[in-house]
C-alpha cells in the first residue's frame, strides 16, 4: 500500500534528521558530523527511481530548511536534484552490489558540499577551496561513508520489506 510506504519513509527521514542534528553533533570528530539525510535521499533515489528520490529529497531538504535554512528552499532544491539524479541510476542498481551505492552516495555528498561551498562561501569571497576540501568536504565524506555501511543496509532491508508487502497486496487486489 502507498500509505504504508509513506509512513515508513517519513519515519526514516525523521529519525535520520533527529540523529543528525542531535546525537551525531555530539559524536562529531573535529566538529565534523556525517550527513545522514544525503544517504537517505541518495539510497531511495537509486533504489526506487527518480520520482520517489526527488520527492524524498524535497521533503528532507524542506525539513532542514525549516530548522536551519537562511531561506526556505535552498536545501529543498539541492536535495530535490540529488534524489532525481540518483534515481537515473536505478537501472544500474543491483541490491547485492555495494559499489554503486557507495559511489553514488559519495558523489552526492561531495557534489552537494561543493555546491554549498560555491553558492554560500565562494560568492562571499572565501576563495580557499583547498582548505575547505581538506577540512570539511573530505572529513564529512569519510564519516558519511562509515555511517553508510550501516545505514545503507538498514534502508535496503526496509525497502525490500516494503516491496515484498506491496507485491502481496497488489496480488490480493488482482484476484
Partner 1 sequence: MSMRKHRFTSKKRKHIPTKYLLLVLSFVCVISIFTGLVFNISGGPLSAVAGYVFVPMQTGINNIGQWTSKKVNNFKTLSEVLEENEELKKQIDDLTNELTVSRMESYEVDNYREILKLDELYPGYEKIAASVVASDNNNWFDVFTINRGSNSGIEVGMNVLAGSGLAGIVISVSPNFATVRSVIDDANNVSAMVTTTGDNFNVSGNLQLMKEDQVITFSELRDTKGKVSIGDPVVTSYVSDQYEQGILIGYINSIEENSNGLTKSGTITPVVDFEHIQTVLVILNVKETSE
Residues that bind partner 1 (CB under 8 A): 2, 14, 17-18, 20-23, 25-26, 30-33, 35, 37, 50-51, 54-55, 58, 61-68, 70-77, 80-81, 84, 113, 116-117, 120-121, 124, 126, 128, 131-132, 135-136, 139-140, 170, 173
CB-nearer residue toward partner 1: 4 or 97: 4
C-alpha cell at 66: 525549516
Q: Is 55 or 102 the residue whose CB approaches partner 1 more closely? A: 55
Give whichever of 102 and 136 is closer to partner 1, judged by the CB atom.
136
Rg (CA), the chain: 17
| CA separation, residue 124 to residues 10, 90, 111, 133 (Å) | 35, 37, 19, 17
Integer Cα distance of 19 and 35 in angstroms: 10
Task: Identify which of 43, 72, 67 has the alpha carbon closest to the alpha carbon of residue 57.
Answer: 43
CA distance 166 to 162: 6
Tell the smallest beta-carbon distance from residue 167 to partner 1 (Å). 11
Q: How near is the Cβ of 158 to partner 1 at its closest, in Å?
A: 20
**Least CB distance to partner 1 at residue 157 (A):** 23
Cβ nearer to partner 1, comparing 43 with 48: 48
Q: What are phi and psi of 28, to 5 degrees?
A: -75, 145
Amino acid at each position: 500500500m502507498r500509505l504504508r510506504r509513506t509512513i515508513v519513509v517519513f519515519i526514516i527521514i525523521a529519525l535520520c534528521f533527529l540523529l543528525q542534528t542531535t546525537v551525531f553533533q555530539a559524536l562529531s570528530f573535529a566538529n565534523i558530523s556525517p550527513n545522514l539525510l544525503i544517504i537517505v535521499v541518495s539510497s531511495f533515489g537509486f533504489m526506487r527511481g527518480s520520482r520517489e528520490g526527488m520527492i524524498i529529497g524535497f521533503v528532507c531538504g524542506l525539513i532542514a530548511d525549516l530548522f536551519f535554512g537562511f531561506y526556505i528552499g535552498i536545501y529543498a532544491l539541492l536535495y530535490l536534484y540529488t534524489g532525481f539524479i540518483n534515481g537515473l541510476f536505478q537501472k544500474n542498481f543491483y541490491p547485492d552490489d555495494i559499489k554503486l551505492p557507495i559511489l553514488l552516495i559519495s558523489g552526492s555528498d561531495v557534489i552537494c558540499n561543493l555546491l554549498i561551498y560555491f553558492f554560500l562561501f565562494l560568492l562571499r569571497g572565501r576563495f580557499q577551496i583547498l582548505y575547505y576540501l581538506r577540512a570539511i568536504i573530505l572529513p564529512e565524506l569519510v564519516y558519511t561513508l562509515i555511517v553508510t555501511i550501516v545505514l545503507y543496509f538498514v534502508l535496503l532491508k526496509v525497502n525490500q520489506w516494503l516491496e515484498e508487502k506491496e507485491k502481496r497486496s497488489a496480488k490480493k487486489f488482482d484476484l
